[in-house]
Amino acid sequence: MSHEGASRRYGFPRWFVVRWTTSALLGRRRELWRDGRELLRAMPPTVEGREHLPEGTRYVVVINHYERPGLDVWWAALAVNSTLGAPDLRWIITNRFYRYRLFGRIPVPARLVAAVLGLVAHTYDCVSIERRPEGIAKRAVALRRMRRLLDAEEPQPLGSTPEAEFGGGVALGDPYPSSGKALAWLSRGEVPIVPIGIGDDGERIVLRIGAPFVLEWPGARQARERRDALAARVMREIATVLPEAQRGGWEPERRTDREAHS
């Protein structure tokens, strides 16, 4: 849990901004885990629950969309990737923010935000999700890409913030409506989903890694009908690895010993 009054403020040094911008404009790829370790070298995250990480690299990470003044959500991604190392965890990110404010105050045009998100997605090889309602075909293509990454001969782990733009605070918020349905399609009762609770102690980012779980795929029709229940299950799993003050009213998922160790 953070203590905002005396908390460290995280910011990108100028040398990194220049280096990153040059890479992005030239179309060069970067590795998020390497950038994370470099940026967090002087203040590496505190990590609890490493023993819960699955063997291999075929899994999906879900985190809370943790932010507080001086610590934006992309630092959580840097902390997670720097902890997991190679191969780089591929984040699933939106291609649109409609309410973004620089420094929490200055409105930024959605078109400019979309351009920056596109550069981020290309530079770190993220999976970009089309937000506009008419982009259903593009969302289907993105989901198939995620599945190919998980099913490859050398699988790539994926990362998601189920709250998406609905989040953005210290406490756990509401999930994006289709997040549980998409995660169920990716998990299909076999691919582990690893909840990681994000917080900070005022100085360092804190990662709490929870026991993996799976979601069954009930079929397209039932998934549509049960999308809220599927999303709620994911949120409760994240709540299990968060302090009570950060749970935002979500009750932790309760599992049997057998389920917790499966």
Domain ranges across the chain: 29-260
pLDDT at 111 (0 to 100): 78
Judge contact between 194 and 61, C-beta under 8 A.
yes
Tell me: pLDDT of 260 over 50.
no
Among 214, 2, 195, 179, residue whose Cα is nearest residue 92: 179
Share of the chain above pLDDT 70, in %: 87
Written as one letter, the residue type at 49 is G
Give all strands (DSSP E) within the chain, no chain letters.
46-48, 60-63, 90-94, 101-102, 106-107, 127-129, 158-160, 193-200, 205-209
Nearest-angstrom CA–CA distance, 209 and 48? 6
Among 141, 262, 135, 236, residue whose Cα is nearest residue 180: 236
Lowest-confidence range among 137-141, 163-167, 182-186, 241-245? 163-167
Mean pLDDT of the chain: 89
Nearest-angstrom CA–CA distance, 114 and 95? 6
Report the interhelical angle of 179-187 vs 136-151 (nearest 10°): 30
Q: What is the average pLDDT across 46-61?
A: 96
CATH of 29-260, one of 1.10.3470, 3.40.1130, 3.40.190, 1.10.10: 3.40.1130
Among 25, 24, 47, residue whose Cα is nearest residue 35: 24
Give tens-digit pLDDT for 199-238.
999 999 999 999 999 999 999 899 999 999 999 999 999 9
CB count within 10 Å of CB 116 equals 13
- C-alpha dihedral sign at 255, 235, 33, 127: positive
Give all strands (DSSP E) within 7-134, no chain letters.
46-48, 60-63, 90-94, 101-102, 106-107, 127-129
For 4, 80, 180, 194, 239, the CA distances from 209, given in Å and listed in that order, are 23, 10, 19, 7, 11
Which residues make Cβ contacts (< 8 Å) with residue 82, sequence separation at least 6?
33, 36, 37, 40, 44, 45
Nearest-angstrom CA–CA distance, 152 and 57? 10
Q: Name beta bridge partners: 205.
A: 200
For 6, 67, 242, the CA distances from 48, given in Å and listed in that order, are 23, 19, 11
Tell me: pLDDT of 110 over 80.
no
Q: Which residue has the tokens 């901004």?
A: 17
End-to-end CA distance of the chain: 29
Backbone angles phi, psi at 198, to 5 degrees: -105, 135
Tell me: pLDDT of 20 over 80.
yes
